[in-house]
Amino acid sequence: MKYFKGSFVFTIICLGLAAALGFNATGTVTGALSTVFICAILGVLEVSLSFDNAVVNATVLKDMDPLWQRRFLTWGILIAVFGMRLVFPLLIVGIAAHLDPISALDLAIKHPDQYAQILSGAHVGIMGFGGSFLALVGLKFFFDAEKDVHWISVIETQLAKFSKLEAIEIVIVLLALFGISKFLTTSEALTFIIAGIFGIITFIAVEAIGTLLDSEDASTTVAKAGLGAFLYLEVLDASFSFDGVIGAFALSTNLFVIALGLGIGAMFVRSLTVMLVELDTLSSYRFLEHGAFWAILALSGLMFVSVCKEVPEVVTGLIGAAFILLALYSSIRWNKKHPEQASQD
């Protein structure tokens, strides 16, 4: 429980703020309790749908020094809650409706239904960006010639061979963008492809920054490498959160209630990530990491599909959870069959 103390304190604060928002809006205790309930549900949904995010985060965080791990929990949660769950939707609405940030905030407060409609209208572009970025994250893991542990061997051994082809993952994502765009209207297709290209550019930029920082002299390598990994984790978290931010409007159109609810979930996901790292869970369960990256590819595919056909969030969450649970089960079976190797890991 020690890993989640901060998360529980954060939850109490957020629920208190939610109660204040509800009472201010309705003037009744019932309204306050209803808002608290919605906020809590959003937090639970965010955690249940983001376990694969925690596992993937742990693969990066385990190589960061303790200072940057703590910053991931402090600075990172500020970016996750106020950046991705509050500021980001305002920016999207501002761009889509040609509004300045203050006007977008005013719209969110005074006309939440209209605000939600505009944000939902940006669904195609958001999914194009997030889907492309996550696809590259997943493909990079499997297109690795040095990867010697395979979970679904018949597939993963073949994928590893593709690492010999330069930028093959980018080609695959571009082809996927082009293929999906054929099912969209001309304007939507253009938006989808441009957003997808920006997702690719963002991935390349984050990778480049990490490479540049890693190549610095030894005296500054640790700090700068930590910064590069931190930036990577924040963009990764953003990509994971896109569908959650939009889907949250099914429960509430209040921007601040959504930010508080999803923020609770984001905090627990971060605490879970730190727990996985400190308990060395990824080493103990050798296929857990593989399951998370398969879940990423599945999420990326569903984000692409969702621009043509509605995909319920529960489907997204269940598929991700299924990969994680199957990978965990396979890891436990492997540990039982190879106890000596498991103890060495």
CA–centroid distance for 187 within its chain:
27
Question: Domains of the chain: which residue ranges?
Answer: 2-334
CB 96 within 8 A of CB 122: yes
Q: Which of 311, 237, 284, 191 is nearest to 81 (CA)?
A: 237
pLDDT computed for residue 341 by the predictor: 67
The residue assigned the tokens 């309705």 is: 26
CA–centroid distance for 102 within its chain:
27
Q: Which of 327, 300, 320, 281 is nearest to 136 (CA)?
A: 300
Residue-wise pLDDT tens digits, 168-194: 999 999 999 999 999 999 999 999 999
Q: Taking the model in full, what pTM does it have? A: 0.81
Residue-wise pLDDT tens digits, 213-243: 655 544 444 455 577 778 888 888 877 777 6
Q: Name the amino acid, one letter, at 228.
A: G
Residue-wise pLDDT tens digits, 286-319: 898 898 889 889 989 999 999 998 887 778 778 8
Burial track 130-165 (b if 16+ CB lie within 10 A, e otherwise): bbbbbbbbbbebbbeeeeeebbbeeebeebbeebee
Compute the CA torsion angle 50, 56, 59, 65 (nearest 10 deg).
-50
Q: Which of 7, 60, 19, 21 is nearest to 226 (CA)?
A: 60
